[in-house]
Amino acid sequence: MRLFLITYDLAKSNGNKHAMATAIMGLGQAWARPLETTWYVRAETSEDAIQARLSGMLDTDDGLIVQAVSEEALLVNTSLRWFRQRRTALELEASSNVIAFPAATASPAETELPLAQAG
């Protein structure tokens, strides 16, 4: 499993913001977003594969950085909270700070939470 730092600048921030976030959350087994357009993703893939998957959502004036990184990082005025991909809450250890989406008790109408409503 590798850890990737993904960050981007969208010239028209509202244009592909939700699509980009949704695509990043679907890249690997876990993700964290310490800043608005800065993500960490744990995945079994390569930088090239991530770039190929995300670059179709970029306009000519947008920027993207995909870099394999180590676990060590210094975070100031932010925190790092990991989220897993599509696992039920029952699979998580009680002491885990990981929140699974959707929760096992969610109704079918609640399984897709729009990013704008996420906390």
Which CATH number is 47's domain given?
3.30.70.240
- Domain enclosing residue 27, as ranges: 1-119
Do 61 and 11 touch, CB atoms closer than 8 A? yes
Residue 86 has a pLDDT of 53
Residue 108 has a pLDDT of 44
**Number of Cβ within a 10 Å radius of residue 6:** 24
User: How many structural domains is the chain composed of?
Assistant: 1
Q: Using one digit for the tens of pLDDT, what is the confidence trace for 31-56? A: 999 999 999 999 999 999 999 999 99
- pTM for this prediction: 0.68
Per cent of the chain over pLDDT 90 is 44
Q: Using one digit for the tens of pLDDT, what is the confidence trace for 53-63? A: 999 999 889 99
Sequence-distant contacts of 80-85: CB under 8 A, at least 24 apart: 80/32, 80/34, 80/40, 81/32, 82/30, 82/31, 82/32, 82/42, 83/25, 83/30, 83/31, 83/32, 84/29, 84/30, 85/25, 85/26, 85/28, 85/29, 85/30, 85/31
**Strand, helix or coil for residue 85:** strand
